[in-house]
Structure 1
Amino acid sequence: MLDLISHPVAHVVAMKAGGIVNGSDLQCAIDAIEAAKRDHPVISLVVEIDNLRLMTLTALLKDIGYGLTQLGDLERYHRAAVVTDQAWIEHIVHLEERLFKAVEIRTFRSDEHADAMAWAAELPEGSHEDPEEDGYHGA
Protein backbone atom coordinates (compact mmCIF):
# COMPACT_ATOMS: atom_id res chain seq x y z
CA MET A 1 0.00 0.00 0.00
CA LEU A 2 1.18 3.49 -0.85
CA ASP A 3 -1.14 6.33 0.03
CA LEU A 4 -0.81 10.05 -0.51
CA ILE A 5 -1.07 12.01 2.73
CA SER A 6 -1.81 15.68 3.12
CA HIS A 7 0.84 18.31 3.60
CA PRO A 8 -0.15 21.95 4.09
CA VAL A 9 2.45 23.19 1.57
CA ALA A 10 1.61 22.63 -2.09
CA HIS A 11 5.18 22.03 -3.30
CA VAL A 12 5.52 19.02 -0.97
CA VAL A 13 4.28 15.61 -2.07
CA ALA A 14 3.80 13.39 0.98
CA MET A 15 3.03 9.70 1.04
CA LYS A 16 3.00 6.69 3.33
CA ALA A 17 4.19 3.25 2.26
CA GLY A 18 3.73 -0.03 4.06
CA GLY A 19 2.92 -3.66 3.47
CA ILE A 20 3.00 -4.49 -0.24
CA VAL A 21 3.35 -1.68 -2.80
CA ASN A 22 1.96 -2.49 -6.24
CA GLY A 23 2.20 -0.78 -9.62
CA SER A 24 -1.04 1.20 -9.34
CA ASP A 25 0.02 2.47 -5.90
CA LEU A 26 3.27 3.70 -7.38
CA GLN A 27 1.53 5.26 -10.38
CA CYS A 28 -0.61 7.41 -8.04
CA ALA A 29 2.56 8.69 -6.38
CA ILE A 30 4.20 9.40 -9.76
CA ASP A 31 1.09 11.28 -10.91
CA ALA A 32 1.14 13.42 -7.74
CA ILE A 33 4.83 14.21 -8.21
CA GLU A 34 4.31 15.17 -11.85
CA ALA A 35 1.33 17.40 -10.93
CA ALA A 36 3.43 19.18 -8.30
CA LYS A 37 6.26 19.66 -10.82
CA ARG A 38 3.82 21.28 -13.26
CA ASP A 39 2.74 23.79 -10.61
CA HIS A 40 6.02 24.53 -8.79
CA PRO A 41 9.60 25.26 -9.85
CA VAL A 42 10.94 22.95 -7.13
CA ILE A 43 9.28 20.24 -5.11
CA SER A 44 10.07 18.24 -2.00
CA LEU A 45 8.99 14.78 -0.92
CA VAL A 46 8.05 13.22 2.39
CA VAL A 47 7.88 9.43 2.42
CA GLU A 48 6.75 7.66 5.58
CA ILE A 49 7.76 4.02 5.51
CA ASP A 50 6.20 1.74 8.09
CA ASN A 51 6.32 -2.05 7.90
CA LEU A 52 7.19 -2.09 4.22
CA ARG A 53 7.33 -5.74 3.23
CA LEU A 54 7.90 -5.62 -0.51
CA MET A 55 7.25 -4.01 -3.84
CA THR A 56 5.69 -6.08 -6.58
CA LEU A 57 7.82 -6.60 -9.68
CA THR A 58 5.58 -4.19 -11.60
CA ALA A 59 6.03 -1.53 -8.91
CA LEU A 60 9.77 -2.06 -8.78
CA LEU A 61 10.15 -1.77 -12.56
CA LYS A 62 7.91 1.30 -12.64
CA ASP A 63 9.93 2.88 -9.80
CA ILE A 64 13.26 2.23 -11.52
CA GLY A 65 11.93 3.41 -14.88
CA TYR A 66 10.52 6.63 -13.46
CA GLY A 67 13.68 7.23 -11.45
CA LEU A 68 15.80 6.95 -14.58
CA THR A 69 13.63 9.53 -16.37
CA GLN A 70 14.23 11.95 -13.49
CA LEU A 71 18.04 11.88 -13.59
CA GLY A 72 18.17 14.86 -15.96
CA ASP A 73 15.63 16.78 -13.87
CA LEU A 74 17.11 16.45 -10.36
CA GLU A 75 17.42 20.21 -9.92
CA ARG A 76 13.60 20.29 -9.64
CA TYR A 77 13.79 18.23 -6.45
CA HIS A 78 14.84 20.18 -3.37
CA ARG A 79 14.48 17.78 -0.45
CA ALA A 80 13.35 14.27 0.33
CA ALA A 81 12.48 13.39 3.91
CA VAL A 82 12.18 9.69 4.69
CA VAL A 83 10.40 8.87 7.95
CA THR A 84 11.14 5.35 9.16
CA ASP A 85 12.23 3.27 12.10
CA GLN A 86 13.45 0.47 9.84
CA ALA A 87 17.28 0.42 9.90
CA TRP A 88 17.61 -1.30 6.51
CA ILE A 89 15.71 1.54 4.85
CA GLU A 90 17.98 4.11 6.51
CA HIS A 91 20.96 2.37 4.90
CA ILE A 92 19.33 2.57 1.46
CA VAL A 93 18.51 6.25 1.99
CA HIS A 94 22.14 7.02 2.90
CA LEU A 95 23.26 5.30 -0.31
CA GLU A 96 20.77 7.34 -2.35
CA GLU A 97 22.00 10.49 -0.65
CA ARG A 98 25.50 9.76 -1.93
CA LEU A 99 24.29 8.91 -5.43
CA PHE A 100 21.95 11.88 -5.87
CA LYS A 101 23.91 14.79 -4.44
CA ALA A 102 21.66 17.37 -6.13
CA VAL A 103 18.82 16.45 -3.75
CA GLU A 104 18.99 16.87 0.01
CA ILE A 105 17.88 13.54 1.45
CA ARG A 106 17.47 12.98 5.17
CA THR A 107 15.99 10.28 7.38
CA PHE A 108 13.81 10.94 10.40
CA ARG A 109 12.49 8.54 13.04
CA SER A 110 8.72 8.20 13.32
CA ASP A 111 8.74 10.33 16.48
CA GLU A 112 10.32 13.11 14.38
CA HIS A 113 7.45 13.19 11.87
CA ALA A 114 6.66 16.87 12.50
CA ASP A 115 10.33 17.78 12.00
CA ALA A 116 10.35 15.91 8.67
CA MET A 117 7.24 17.72 7.47
CA ALA A 118 8.68 21.13 8.46
CA TRP A 119 12.09 20.38 6.92
CA ALA A 120 10.49 19.36 3.61
CA ALA A 121 8.44 22.58 3.56
CA GLU A 122 11.55 24.77 3.53
CA LEU A 123 12.53 26.08 0.12
CA PRO A 124 15.95 26.94 -1.25
CA GLU A 125 17.21 30.39 -0.37
CA GLY A 126 15.98 32.95 -2.88
CA SER A 127 13.04 30.82 -3.99
CA HIS A 128 9.94 32.68 -5.14
CA GLU A 129 7.50 30.50 -3.23
CA ASP A 130 6.87 31.15 0.46
CA PRO A 131 5.73 28.28 2.73
CA GLU A 132 4.07 30.85 5.03
CA GLU A 133 1.88 32.02 2.14
CA ASP A 134 1.13 28.40 1.34
CA GLY A 135 -0.37 27.85 4.78
CA TYR A 136 2.49 26.17 6.62
CA HIS A 137 3.57 27.76 9.86
CA GLY A 138 5.70 24.95 11.30
CA ALA A 139 4.94 22.14 13.69
Structure 2
Amino acid sequence: MLDLISHPAEHVVAMKASGVVTAQELQRAIDAIEAAKRAHPRVSLVVEIDGLRWLTLTALLKDLGYGLTQLGDLKHYHRAAVVTDQEWVKHLTHLEDRLFKAVELRTFPMRDHAAAMAWVGDLPRGEHENPEDDGYHGA
Protein backbone atom coordinates (compact mmCIF):
# COMPACT_ATOMS: atom_id res chain seq x y z
CA MET A 1 0.00 0.00 0.00
CA LEU A 2 1.25 3.49 -0.85
CA ASP A 3 -0.60 6.41 0.73
CA LEU A 4 0.03 10.12 0.45
CA ILE A 5 0.39 11.74 3.86
CA SER A 6 0.23 15.40 4.76
CA HIS A 7 3.20 17.71 5.23
CA PRO A 8 2.91 21.38 6.20
CA ALA A 9 5.40 22.54 3.54
CA GLU A 10 3.66 22.78 0.16
CA HIS A 11 6.78 21.83 -1.83
CA VAL A 12 6.99 18.44 -0.05
CA VAL A 13 5.31 15.27 -1.29
CA ALA A 14 5.08 12.83 1.60
CA MET A 15 4.02 9.21 1.43
CA LYS A 16 3.96 5.99 3.41
CA ALA A 17 4.65 2.58 1.85
CA SER A 18 3.95 -0.82 3.37
CA GLY A 19 2.92 -4.28 2.25
CA VAL A 20 2.45 -4.50 -1.51
CA VAL A 21 2.48 -1.36 -3.67
CA THR A 22 0.29 -1.39 -6.80
CA ALA A 23 0.69 0.58 -10.02
CA GLN A 24 -2.50 2.55 -9.27
CA GLU A 25 -1.13 3.64 -5.88
CA LEU A 26 2.20 4.55 -7.44
CA GLN A 27 0.43 6.60 -10.12
CA ARG A 28 -1.27 8.70 -7.41
CA ALA A 29 2.17 9.45 -5.95
CA ILE A 30 3.59 10.33 -9.39
CA ASP A 31 0.62 12.63 -10.02
CA ALA A 32 1.25 14.38 -6.68
CA ILE A 33 4.95 14.83 -7.52
CA GLU A 34 4.16 16.25 -10.95
CA ALA A 35 1.58 18.65 -9.45
CA ALA A 36 4.13 19.83 -6.89
CA LYS A 37 6.72 20.36 -9.66
CA ARG A 38 4.25 22.54 -11.58
CA ALA A 39 3.53 24.63 -8.47
CA HIS A 40 7.02 24.96 -6.97
CA PRO A 41 10.52 25.52 -8.38
CA ARG A 42 12.01 22.89 -6.03
CA VAL A 43 10.26 19.79 -4.68
CA SER A 44 11.29 17.52 -1.83
CA LEU A 45 10.08 14.01 -1.11
CA VAL A 46 9.72 11.96 2.04
CA VAL A 47 8.69 8.33 2.10
CA GLU A 48 8.13 6.30 5.23
CA ILE A 49 8.75 2.64 4.48
CA ASP A 50 7.49 0.22 7.12
CA GLY A 51 6.94 -3.43 6.33
CA LEU A 52 7.26 -2.99 2.56
CA ARG A 53 7.29 -6.42 0.93
CA TRP A 54 7.31 -5.64 -2.79
CA LEU A 55 5.91 -3.72 -5.74
CA THR A 56 3.66 -5.48 -8.22
CA LEU A 57 5.33 -6.02 -11.60
CA THR A 58 3.36 -3.19 -13.20
CA ALA A 59 4.22 -0.88 -10.27
CA LEU A 60 7.90 -1.78 -10.59
CA LEU A 61 7.88 -1.07 -14.32
CA LYS A 62 6.01 2.22 -13.75
CA ASP A 63 8.50 3.21 -11.04
CA LEU A 64 11.49 2.43 -13.25
CA GLY A 65 9.97 4.23 -16.22
CA TYR A 66 9.12 7.34 -14.21
CA GLY A 67 12.53 7.32 -12.57
CA LEU A 68 14.26 7.23 -15.95
CA THR A 69 12.19 10.18 -17.20
CA GLN A 70 13.31 12.19 -14.17
CA LEU A 71 17.05 11.79 -14.79
CA GLY A 72 17.12 14.83 -17.06
CA ASP A 73 14.88 16.82 -14.71
CA LEU A 74 16.71 16.57 -11.39
CA LYS A 75 16.96 20.37 -11.04
CA HIS A 76 13.36 20.37 -9.75
CA TYR A 77 14.27 18.17 -6.80
CA HIS A 78 15.89 19.40 -3.61
CA ARG A 79 15.83 16.66 -0.98
CA ALA A 80 14.52 13.17 -0.49
CA ALA A 81 14.21 11.45 2.87
CA VAL A 82 13.60 7.76 3.38
CA VAL A 83 12.31 6.89 6.85
CA THR A 84 12.75 3.20 7.57
CA ASP A 85 14.22 0.55 9.83
CA GLN A 86 14.43 -1.98 6.98
CA GLU A 87 18.11 -2.62 6.25
CA TRP A 88 17.65 -3.55 2.57
CA VAL A 89 15.89 -0.22 1.96
CA LYS A 90 18.74 1.66 3.66
CA HIS A 91 21.28 -0.08 1.38
CA LEU A 92 19.24 0.70 -1.73
CA THR A 93 18.91 4.35 -0.65
CA HIS A 94 22.69 4.66 -0.18
CA LEU A 95 23.21 3.27 -3.69
CA GLU A 96 20.73 5.78 -5.13
CA ASP A 97 22.51 8.56 -3.24
CA ARG A 98 25.74 7.68 -5.04
CA LEU A 99 23.99 7.60 -8.43
CA PHE A 100 21.92 10.79 -8.12
CA LYS A 101 24.26 13.45 -6.74
CA ALA A 102 21.97 16.34 -7.79
CA VAL A 103 19.45 15.44 -5.07
CA GLU A 104 20.27 15.39 -1.36
CA LEU A 105 19.17 11.97 -0.12
CA ARG A 106 19.19 10.73 3.47
CA THR A 107 17.83 7.82 5.42
CA PHE A 108 16.33 8.26 8.87
CA PRO A 109 15.33 5.57 11.37
CA MET A 110 11.61 5.41 12.16
CA ARG A 111 12.22 7.00 15.57
CA ASP A 112 13.52 10.14 13.74
CA HIS A 113 10.43 10.63 11.59
CA ALA A 114 9.97 14.23 12.84
CA ALA A 115 13.59 15.07 11.97
CA ALA A 116 13.09 13.71 8.44
CA MET A 117 9.92 15.76 8.00
CA ALA A 118 11.72 18.90 9.16
CA TRP A 119 14.76 18.23 6.94
CA VAL A 120 12.73 17.87 3.73
CA GLY A 121 10.65 20.92 4.59
CA ASP A 122 13.72 23.13 4.60
CA LEU A 123 14.69 24.93 1.39
CA PRO A 124 17.95 26.77 0.63
CA ARG A 125 17.90 30.49 1.44
CA GLY A 126 16.29 32.49 -1.33
CA GLU A 127 14.22 29.57 -2.66
CA HIS A 128 11.17 29.96 -0.43
CA GLU A 129 8.08 31.10 -2.26
CA ASN A 130 7.11 33.01 0.87
CA PRO A 131 10.26 34.69 2.25
CA GLU A 132 8.81 34.69 5.78
CA ASP A 133 8.23 30.92 5.67
CA ASP A 134 11.21 28.67 6.26
CA GLY A 135 9.26 25.50 5.46
CA TYR A 136 8.37 22.94 8.12
CA HIS A 137 7.82 24.33 11.61
CA GLY A 138 6.25 21.37 13.37
CA ALA A 139 7.61 18.54 15.44
TM-score, normalised on structure 2?
0.95
Give yes or no for contact 2:15–2:48 (8 Å, CA) kept in 1: yes
Aligned-partner Cα distance in 2 for 1:103–1:131: 23
1:99 maps to 99
Q: Any idea what SS the aligned residue of 2:27 has? A: helix
Aligned-partner Cα distance in 2 for 1:135–1:99: 27
> Structure 2 unaligned runs (5+)?
none
Aligned-partner Cα distance in 2 for 1:42–1:105: 14
Q: Alpha carbons of 1:58 and 1:109: their partners in 2 closer, same or farther (altered >3 Å)?
A: same
For these two proteins, the number of residue pairs brought into alignment is 139
Letter in 1 for 2:109: R
Matched, 1:81 2:81: yes
C-alpha deviation, 1:126, in angstroms: 2.3
1:112 maps to 112
**1:26-41 alignment, distance < 5 Å:** 26-41=26-41
Give yes or no for contact 1:9–1:131 (8 Å, CA) kept in 2: no
Q: Any idea what SS the aligned residue of 2:105 has? A: strand
Runs of 4+ in 1 over 2 A off after TM superposition: 128-136
1:71 maps to 71
